[in-house]
Amino acid sequence: MAHREPSLFTRLIVLISLVLMAGAAALTTAAWYYAREAANDAYDRLLVGAAYQMAEALNVQGGTLTVELPVSAFELLANSERDRIFYKIVEPGGRTLTGYADLVTPENDAPAMGSPDVRDGRFKGVDVRVTKVGRSFSDPSVQGRVDVVVAQTTEARTALARELTLRAVALIIVMSALALGGAVFAIRYALRPIGRVGAVLRDRDPHDVTLITVSTPRELRPFVSAANAFIARLKNRMDLMQQFIADAAHQIRTPLTALKAQLQLLSRQPMDPQALQYLTRVQERVDQLSHLAGQLLSHAMVNHRAGAVPLEPVDVAEVVRRAIREAVPETLDRDVLISLELPPVPVTIAGDAISLKEAVKNVIDNAVRHGAPSQLTLRVCQKLHTVDIEVKDDGPGIPPELWSQVTERFSAHSPGGSGLGLSIAANVLAACSGSLSFRHEDGNGFVVIMSLPNETGPKA
Amino acid sequence: MNGQEIRLCHPMLLCLCLVWAAIQPLASFAQDSQISTFPALQAEQEVLSIHAATDRPAMEPLIRDFQTLNPNTRVEFVEYVTNDLFAAASKACQDGRALGDVLLSSGVDQLVKLTNDGCAHSVNLPETETVPRWANWRDEVFGFTFEPVVFVYNRAKVPVEDVPTTHLEIADLLRLKPETYQGRVGTYDIRQSGIGYLLAFNDSQQTTTTYGRLLESLGRAQAVVRCCTGEILDEIEAGRLLIGYNMLASYAYARIRAGANLGLVVPADYTLVLSRGAMIPAAASNATAGARFISYLLSNRGQTLAQREAFFFGFAGEAPAGLEGAASIVRTGIARPIAISPALLAVQDDERRRRFIADWSRSLVDMAKR
């Protein structure tokens, strides 16, 4: 056997998990990116605001540029509690008026009308965001642009970005968990028809060759069609086989009848006792063979009818009466008292009258052949859910340890019999959902019970 | 003595004095820093070097108590004036060296500037979490005291009806009774004293009109300016000065406890509250001991001892008995703590300080000259 294939469920879950993980990773990256953008954006506004406030505080007094840096500008920046603040104010000549002279002035100029550019930088060995706001003076003593450069470390930005990302990640995890849970549920739901088809196939009777009719999703139809095609082929073969057996039995019966007639004629000829004895034995064997051929025919017929003939209302009492008439041979070597007990009202079930008659015939035949020294009682009784046909004889019956085997074809425990009788009865009963059972009665007596489902229930 | 000279000076002399005042801090680098050593109580295993712009007597009980908890630590205590400490620490930081293991300074704006320049080492100990938010920046600078800024007067010489209870009253008093208070009011020389500058700056931020009137009145009254609280308190105690403006309550109260006949007024309009700052230099050689010391200062034990022996006020605004003026400044909302935050960088801006001190000098010193 090749290595075990992983189950569909495992395959789907693994694939879906991989997709979800890849998606989660991509979303987390995107979340981090956007969170950083948002955090930068939020704090950059404060940074630019502070730079504007500082630029606003610039003025020219007595011919010199001076600045009274507003506390509020620093308080604005102190909104990010842990961040350090660096700034410098550069005069038009390039001299640093105040602040950190070694802070690098960002190169490019922001578009004149747009808001100032904020960019990443490094100062004193830490990451900073830097902005520059220019203010032009056209005072006689101070001419040109004064640059206000403000930088701030990025702790608050990073903390905000991290918090936003963590929240997004929490959402992503929840969504992924929901998706995975939903997938588990959906896959189980989607795969359920497979189990159903499997169960239908598993629970089928071995002799059932009807097509599978369970409704399935489109994806499973090829599978069911293939199974049905296979069943159809099998049924075809079985039919052919039954047909062959029936034909063979029928063909055998004709020469056997002729043979029996010839033996009858032969027995009337005078012959020595030894020869007569042989002749009698030959007659017995021919009878047996004839009976076997009849049973084979019966068996083939019953099997053919099972599942092929629609069930109809059947009067059980009538069936039993006919069966007695056909089964009890006119010439019997002993006197057997046959009695029939029927319920006061007619009992009707749904079934195939011919098959049922064959079944009862075979049970009676079996009882007459092997049991019943003197008495045979047939009884039809209506139970709550079943209609039972009981065939009771006063013979020794079948020992209980053999009950399970006697319904098999050609079982070895029927000396002198074909071993087909009870098998035929069992087949008929199985075909109409009934059952065959046995009972030893107190004193002497052995009962074969044929239970048929009482589909209509006891009539009120 | 500097201030007195200025007051009496002739213009030429004044210029000389200013030059001297400018070079004096440079000269005092070596001489003014006084080193005291507290030997380890048991076998010495480490040295904790504290560089402080804080009176040694105030810190001594705290250092001794710290040593009972850390008996193997020898403590070196180097004393500076605020500006000198800042200059030395800045220079050390630029050179990549460390100035000691702990810096203590009432000039918290200077400590904030040092921290902003990346010269501080962060401390994450449980005790640091109990500090109010306004007294902690970046877990690097901590305020460890709560010191209202008060008026101090000589009880023997200032009549009860003259005792000012608000900033406006002190301005009015100086204006209405020039004959009594001319040259008899003392305050910090903000050119020399970092803490004086910080307090004056915060006064100016509170109410510009009151500040302007006050400055004008101080100038008219030829207020005496001194480098340090101690000198002003000495003179008030001696009776040469009558009122001290913007004095740290802790120093004044220590004198009252020692028997000086001083009165202490907590202003009722607003009361600046200074929290003395502590930080560890980035390159400190014994930063762990420094962190231990800072967390000791912030711990319940350190705070309780400081309140009893050294600084007399607690973060909740608890005040010792015997104060005049506003009670429970925190609850009534009069307290204006000087928050240890990057907003103090505006105070430390060179250009702004230059202009502020120039304006101050013009009002106070140049007026006095007239």
Residues 6 or more apart from B68 whose CB is under 8 A from it? B41
Q: Are residues A151 and A210 in the same domain?
A: no
Interface test with A, best of B345, B353, B362 (most A CBs within 10 A): B345
Residue type present at position A110:
A
Give yes or no for a contact between A438 and A397, defined as CB atoms under 8 angstroms apart: yes
Q: Are residues A282 and A332 in the same domain?
A: no
> Tokens 């070097």 correspond to what residue?
B49
The one-digit pLDDT tens for each residue of chain A (460 residues) are: 457 888 888 999 999 999 999 999 999 999 999 999 999 999 999 999 999 999 999 988 888 888 989 999 999 998 888 899 999 999 988 889 999 988 888 876 555 556 788 989 999 889 999 999 988 888 888 888 899 999 999 999 999 999 999 999 999 999 999 999 999 999 999 888 888 888 888 888 766 777 888 888 888 888 889 989 998 898 888 888 878 888 888 888 888 888 888 888 888 888 888 988 888 888 888 888 888 888 888 887 787 777 667 778 888 888 888 888 887 776 667 778 888 888 888 888 888 888 888 888 888 888 887 766 788 888 888 888 888 888 888 877 788 888 877 777 776 555 555 567 888 888 888 877 888 888 888 777 888 888 888 765 444 3
User: How close A165 comes to chain B (CA, Å)?
Assistant: 23
Complex ipTM over 0.90: no
Would you call B15 an interface residue with chain A, using a CB distance cutoff of 8 Å? no
Supply φ then ψ for residue A3, to 5 degrees. Answer: -60, 155
pLDDT of res. A3: 72
Give the H/E segment covering residue B7: helix B2-8
> Tokens 């030829």 correspond to what residue?
B222
Residues 6 or more apart from B15 whose CB is under 8 A from it? none
Structural domain of A216 = 204-308
B94 → chain A, closest CA residue: A124
Domain end among A111, A133, A163: A163
Supply φ then ψ for residue B27, to 5 degrees. Answer: -65, -35
Interface test with B, best of A46, A69, A72 (most B CBs within 10 A): A69
Residue B18 and residue B23: Cα distance in Å, rounded? 9
The two three-digit tokens of residue A191, written as one number: 């795969």
Whether residue A169 is contained in a domain is answered as no
The beta strands (E) that lie in B208-289 are given as: 224-226, 243-248, 262-266, 271-274, 277-281
Q: Are strands A118-123 and A96-99 parallel, antiparallel or unpaired?
A: unpaired
Residues 6 or more apart from A139 whose CB is under 8 A from it? A60
Give yes or no for a contact between A28 and A172, defined as CB atoms under 8 angstroms apart: yes
Residue type present at position A392:
K
Q: Are residues A248 and A375 in the same domain?
A: no
Q: For residue A12, count other CB atoms closer than 10 A to its CB.
A: 17
Q: For chains A and B, what is the number of CB pairs under 8 angstroms?
A: 56
Give yes or no for a contact between B317 and B329, defined as CB atoms under 8 angstroms apart: yes
A contact residues 230-289, partner B, Cβ 8 Å cutoff: none
For residue A421, the domain's CATH number is 3.30.565.10
- Taking only the tens place, the pLDDT of each residue in B314-359 is 887 777 766 666 567 777 788 899 999 999 999 999 999 999 999 9
Would you call B358 an interface residue with chain A, using a CB distance cutoff of 8 Å? no
Q: Are residues A288 and A380 in the same domain?
A: no
User: How close B345 comes to chain A (CA, Å)?
Assistant: 7
Whether residue A185 is contained in a domain is answered as no
Task: Identify the CA nearest to A369 among candidates A336, A409, A402, A406.
Answer: A336
Instruction: Report the number of distinct structural domains present in chain A.
Output: 3
Residues 6 or more apart from B1 whose CB is under 8 A from it? none
Q: Taking CA A426 as the corner, what is the angle to CA A425 and CA A431, rounded to the nearest 5 degrees?
A: 100
Whether residue A273 is contained in a domain is answered as yes
Q: Are residues A102 and A67 in the same domain?
A: yes
Report in angstroms the alpha-carbon separations of B342 from A269, A340, B92, B106, B272: 142, 116, 21, 16, 18
Q: Are residues A129 and A262 in the same domain?
A: no
Nearest to A74 among B137, B138, B343 (CB): B343
Give yes or no for a contact between A121 and A151, defined as CB atoms under 8 angstroms apart: yes
Residues 6 or more apart from B161 whose CB is under 8 A from it? none
CATH homologous superfamily of B148-273+348-369 equals: Periplasmic binding protein-like II (3.40.190.10)
- DSSP state, residue B269: S
The whole-number average pLDDT for the span B218-228 is 89
Residue type present at position B345:
L
The two three-digit tokens of residue A452, written as one number: 């048929």
Q: Are residues A264 and A336 in the same domain?
A: no
On chain B, the residues whose CB falls within 8 A of the CB of A89 are: 351
Residue A112 and residue A119: Cα distance in Å, rounded? 17
Residue B201 and residue B345: Cα distance in Å, rounded? 12
- Taking only the tens place, the pLDDT of each residue in B243-272 is 999 999 888 888 988 888 999 898 988 999
On chain A, the residues whose CB falls within 8 A of the CB of B340 are: none
Sign of the four-CA dihedral A247, A253, A255, A256:
positive
Residue type present at position A424:
I
Query: Which residues face B79 on adjacent strands?
Result: B34, B52
B134 → chain A, closest CA residue: A81
Task: Identify the CA nearest to A197 among candidates A173, A178, A180, A222.
Answer: A222
**DSSP of A191-214:** HHHHHHHHHHHHTS-TT--SPP--
The two three-digit tokens of residue A363, written as one number: 């049970």
Does B176 or B326 have the greater pLDDT score?
Answer: B176
Q: Are residues A324 and A298 in the same domain?
A: no
Give yes or no for a contact between A446 and A393, defined as CB atoms under 8 angstroms apart: yes
Q: Are residues A314 and A399 in the same domain?
A: yes
- Taking only the tens place, the pLDDT of each residue in B150-163 is 999 999 999 999 99
A contact residues 91-130, partner B, Cβ 8 Å cutoff: 97-99, 124-126
On chain A, the residues whose CB falls within 8 A of the CB of B352 are: 67-69, 98
On chain B, the residues whose CB falls within 8 A of the CB of A84 are: 115-116, 118, 138, 342
The two three-digit tokens of residue A64, written as one number: 């010199």
The two three-digit tokens of residue B252, written as one number: 């004044």
Percent of chain B whose pLDDT exceeds 90 = 51
Whether residue A190 is contained in a domain is answered as no
Give yes or no for a contact between A263 and A283, defined as CB atoms under 8 angstroms apart: yes
Residue B11 and residue B19: Cα distance in Å, rounded? 13
8 Å CB contact of A98 and B350: yes
Range list of H helices, A203-272: 221-268
Residue type present at position B171:
A
At the top level of CATH, the class of B22-146+274-342 is alpha beta
Residue type present at position B342:
P
- Taking only the tens place, the pLDDT of each residue in B305-315 is 988 888 888 88
Q: Are residues A75 and A128 in the same domain?
A: yes
Give yes or no for a contact between A168 and A191, defined as CB atoms under 8 angstroms apart: no
CB half-sphere exposure, A264, CA atoms < 13 A = 7
Q: Are residues A332 and A426 in the same domain?
A: yes
Residue B162 and residue B159: Cα distance in Å, rounded? 5
Task: Assign 3-state DSSP to chain B and report helix, strand, coil percentages, each to 5.
Answer: 50, 20, 30
Would you call B157 an interface residue with chain A, using a CB distance cutoff of 8 Å? no
Would you call A78 an interface residue with chain B, using a CB distance cutoff of 8 Å? yes
Please, what is the angle between helix A353-370 and helix A421-431, to 10°? 150
The two three-digit tokens of residue A60, written as one number: 């020219």
8 Å CB contact of B343 and A75: yes
8 Å CB contact of B351 and A89: yes
pLDDT of res. B31: 44
Q: Where are the domain boundaries for CATH 3.40.190.10 in chain B?
A: 22-146+274-342, 148-273+348-369
**DSSP of B149-165:** EEEEEETTTS-GGG---
Q: For residue A442, count other CB atoms closer than 10 A to its CB.
A: 5
pLDDT of res. A455: 64
Nearest to B116 among A71, A81, A84 (CB): A84
Report in angstroms the alpha-carbon separations of A246 from A243, A293, A400, B24: 5, 9, 33, 136
> Tokens 């801090």 correspond to what residue?
B25
The two three-digit tokens of residue A204, written as one number: 């089928």
Residue A322 and residue A348: Cα distance in Å, rounded? 15
Map residue B35 onto helix, strand or coil: strand
Domain end among A146, A163, A180: A163
8 Å CB contact of A78 and B343: yes
Percent of chain B whose pLDDT exceeds 70 = 88
Residue A170 and residue A431: Cα distance in Å, rounded? 62
User: How close A100 comes to chain B (CA, Å)?
Assistant: 10
Domain end among A163, A189, A212: A163
8 Å CB contact of B351 and A124: no
Q: Are residues A269 and A317 in the same domain?
A: no
Q: For residue A16, count other CB atoms closer than 10 A to its CB.
A: 17
Q: Backbone dihedral region of B139: left (phi > 0), alpha (psi from -120 to 50 degrees) or beta?
A: left
Task: Place B19 in a pLDDT band, splitting at 50, 70 and 90.
Answer: very low
CB half-sphere exposure, A207, CA atoms < 13 A = 18
For residue A216, the domain's CATH number is 1.10.287.130
Map residue A99 onto helix, strand or coil: strand
The two three-digit tokens of residue A317, written as one number: 């009492």
> Tokens 């930081």 correspond to what residue?
B93
The two three-digit tokens of residue A83, written as one number: 């961040």
Whether residue A181 is contained in a domain is answered as no
Residue B111 and residue B103: Cα distance in Å, rounded? 8
User: How close B56 comes to chain A (CA, Å)?
Assistant: 32
